[in-house]
């Protein structure tokens, strides 16, 4: 009888090849498909000695997979995903499972799942975080779709995922497009954290005058304390890398124009649709857009003059550390509140403790803080905001003074810290029992008869101003 393989993967680029090799490492046989014969050849070379193979022929690919077939797609989001589905679905049987492992927009996943469901084929939108290295040695995986169908692929995903305290960094996220949605917000939080780290770097480099070596030492030390996180860890490494072309520090020759693939923007846009404020994520997206305006920024600097930044003897590296930690808390809180609201709106059935748990390892936003978040949601399954948990609140309070100190210094010196300021303003608004929005309601009623509510009695009111 011809051998069949446990798991199929379409798209043998770096991510796909690494993921399928990870599957083979964990005692599951795996078979790949790609239109590029060189990529199939690379898989065979890297997978020598493992039970893994590949082909460029879709019919051969399908025939090699054991039933129910488990087929993961790691191809670019959008049209390529639809093209692969259209190619393969006529060859599949009822009960087979297609898994989209890319960053697809969640409504596309709902559409694809509905179409395939009519054919008896399961479809999962599955977030995979950890980059190429994570794909090879253990990512965080966020699958969403039919709960019973998850059992088809659960053993494979649990085996290949990252582990924290022996627990796999994968679990069922919820119905329909929950997996893609959770990954989208993960990426939005990632945007926010990266922006905040860049602001801390700017304050310390231009404000405190730290050298790249000192910045390396600082971030390396932070990664051993409350700011322990993957992004802080790699930031420390960046400051020691030399440029092969000039032998200068590489960080100093990298152009200050940050690109983006859209997931941060999607998070921001959908948060507005839901009526959930995520200002740190909004600002992070905007700052990447401002960074692309390089020529205009240089003209503006010549017009308005370069900033004359003066050091502040009272500002310390510890202040910046605390300000960054405070901003980390607020950014996670914004993203998790969006997930909480989306789960209710779209009826995903997400468990917030589970999300925090599987983000503790493998993914780009993993950090020590996620265990504290997991505990917060374990204490209160209905927690609408992390800032309402007493232990999280205590951590935020302990760093609040430094957050204000760093923001005030940066604003005074003209150092842009829009992420930190947005987070601080969000915190101040969220922790204020009475905001000045009563005036806005009065204005709306004055010019448009939009009515208002009162503090002293029930009902809807209008005044002839």
Catalytic residue positions, numbered: 183, 190
Radius of gyration from C-alpha coordinates of the chain: 25
Dist. CA 191–CA 283, nearest whole Å: 9
Distances (CA, A) of 436 to 295, 404, 426, 429, 439: 39, 21, 14, 10, 6
DSSP 127: E
Nearest to 255 by CA among 204, 230, 231, 291: 291
Angle subtended at Cα 111 by Cα 107 and Cα 116, rounded to the nearest 5 degrees: 145
Element spanning 128, H or E: strand 122-129
Distance in Å from the first CA to the final CA of the chain: 86
Write down the H helix ranges in 309-368: 317-345, 352-358
Dist. CA 391–CA 376, nearest whole Å: 8
- The DSSP line for 252-273 is GGS-S-----SHHHHHHHHHHH
Dist. CA 353–CA 93, nearest whole Å: 35
Q: Who contacts 176 (Cβ-Cβ below 8 Å, separation ≥6)?
A: 109, 110, 113, 125, 144, 145, 346, 348
């Amino acid at each position: 009888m011809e051998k069949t393989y446990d798991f199929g993967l379409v798209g043998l680029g770096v991510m796909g090849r690494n993921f399928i090799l990870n599957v083979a490492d964990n005692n599951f046989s795996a078979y790949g498909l790609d239109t590029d014969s060189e990529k199939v050849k690379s898989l065979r070379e890297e997978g020598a000695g493992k039970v893994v193979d590949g082909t460029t022929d879709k019919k051969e690919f399908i025939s090699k997979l054991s039933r129910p077939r488990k087929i993961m797609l790691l191809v670019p989001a959008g049209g390529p995903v639809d093209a692969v589905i259209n190619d393969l679905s006529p060859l599949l049987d009822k009960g087979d499972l297609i898994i989209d492992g890319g960053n697809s927009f969640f409504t596309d996943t709902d559409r694809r799942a509905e179409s395939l469901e009519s054919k008896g084929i399961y479809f999962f939108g599955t977030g995979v975080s950890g980059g190429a290295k994570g794909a090879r040695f253990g990512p965080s995986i966020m699958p969403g779709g039919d709960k019973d169908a998850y059992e088809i692929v659960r053993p494979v995903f649990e085996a290949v995922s990252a582990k924290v305290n022996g627990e796999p960094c994968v679990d069922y996220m919820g119905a329909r497009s929950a997996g893609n949605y959770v990954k989208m917000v993960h990426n939005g939080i990632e945007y926010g954290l990266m922006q905040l780290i860049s602001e801390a770097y700017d304050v310390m480099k231009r404000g405190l005058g730290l050298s790249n070596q000192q910045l390396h030492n600082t971030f390396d030390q932070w990664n051993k304390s409350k700011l322990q996180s993957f992004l802080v860890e790699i930031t420390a490494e960046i400051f020691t890398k030399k440029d092969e072309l000039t032998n200068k520090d590489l960080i100093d020759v990298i152009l200050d124009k940050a690109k983006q693939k859209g997931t941060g923007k999607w998070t921001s846009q959908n948060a507005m649709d839901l009526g959930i404020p995520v200002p740190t994520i909004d600002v992070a997206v905007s700052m990447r857009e401002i960074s692309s305006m390089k020529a205009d920024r240089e003209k503006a600097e010549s017009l308005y003059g370069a900033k004359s930044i003066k050091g502040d003897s009272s500002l310390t590296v510890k202040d910046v550390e605390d300000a960054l930690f405070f901003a980390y808390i607020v950014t996670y809180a914004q993203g998790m509140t969006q997930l909480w609201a989306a789960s209710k709106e779209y009826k995903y059935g997400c468990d917030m403790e589970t999300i925090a748990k599987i983000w503790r390892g493998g993914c780009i936003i993993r950090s020590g803080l996620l265990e504290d978040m997991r505990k917060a949601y374990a204490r209160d399954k209905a927690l609408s905001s992390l800032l309402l948990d007493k232990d999280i609140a205590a951590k935020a309070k302990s760093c609040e003074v430094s957050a204000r100190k760093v923001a005030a210094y940066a604003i005074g010196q003209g150092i842009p810290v829009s992420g930190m300021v947005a987070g601080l303003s969000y915190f101040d608004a969220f922790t204020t029992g009475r905001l000045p929005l009563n005036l806005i309601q009065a204005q709306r009623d004055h010019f448009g008869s939009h009515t208002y509510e009162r503090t002293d009695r029930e009902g809807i009111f209008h005044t002839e101003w």
